[in-house]
Structure 1
């Protein structure tokens, strides 16, 4: 029985899927020492930590969503990272003013489709063609970006950098400007 618990705990700690099979003894406790462990298996039950992983994966199915941060509710990409506007971008111009070294620190939020999938964003969402040919996501006609200084979801370290980078509210408004 101890071996079974170690296997189950190891599988859960490694983020195993709920469909992974775990070797265990019979429920009556009458283990047959001759029977190989693989003959008596059960499905592992879902662990709350796995549900959080599933929620994170589900967020990855959208291009934009909303999340709570220290600045309130903001637009985030599919991985939960904060989205930013660049004040030098002209709304509805179809281009990004962030080029060269700017893109190193402020990578564009891109999507595989001309019609991004959104959840919780009430502003108008679209795309423009980025310099590399990908679809850069726009909010209210303005290209949006990530900040390399944000290490984790919820970080807003790019807010007001050089007084031209702004976190975006779900309705498309700049936060703090």
Structure 2
């Protein structure tokens, strides 16, 4: 009888041990699953944060706004653009609306802008814009539409000063907004009548 009782007790103990191991395994599996899920969630969240675009970068100002400033020239202080190219007005423009289109606009490209023009060293209240026939926005100064000159290859060139083309005169512009009608460059280029004549002749 005792061997039977011992066998039963042994079987009961074994069953309890198996049950305990199963419970421990389930607990370990549950803990591992929870830990894995938490790790995956944390990694996903970090990845989402890293890939999110910066709001400060998207707040950068739009480009394309023309800058007006002044520069020295043989004719005095004149208006130039942000690259230092000389700006001109066309005397045939009697209002802020440009009358220079087609071939004229090819030879005398209008100064256009895609934003509010910037100014440096000029009178900001004189800076304005007008709408051209092609719906582009042209920069004006004291009501004068502004242009560059195709034959001005470099900043500082004023090859268009005093030209007559497309039915009117073209002049560089002073900081006051008035045309500079003098041509100091032409005077400087005129050879002196007192030079030369040496060599005993």
Partner of 2:71: 67
Partner of 1:139: 141
1:104 aligns with 2:106: yes
Contact 1:124-1:141 at 8 Å conserved across structures: yes
1:61 and 1:103 map into 2 onto residues whose CA distance is 20
Indicate the structure with greater helix content. 2
* Segments of 4+ moved more than 6 angstroms: none
Please, which runs of 5 or more residues in structure 1 have no aligned partner? 1-59
User: How does 1:77-92 map onto structure 2 within 5 Å?
Assistant: 77-92=81-96
Partner of 1:124: 126
Structure 1 residues 62 and 119, CA, compared in 2 at 3 Å: closer, same or farther?
farther
Contact 2:65-2:114 at 8 Å conserved across structures: no
Structure 2 length normalisation: TM-score?
0.54
1:157 aligns with 2:159: yes
Q: Give the aligned length.
A: 115
Larger Rg, first or second structure (1 or 2): 2
Task: State the Cα RMSD in Å.
Answer: 1.8
Contact 1:136-1:144 at 8 Å conserved across structures: yes
Structure 1 length normalisation: TM-score?
0.61
For residue 74 of structure 1, report the CA deviation from its aligned partner. 0.5
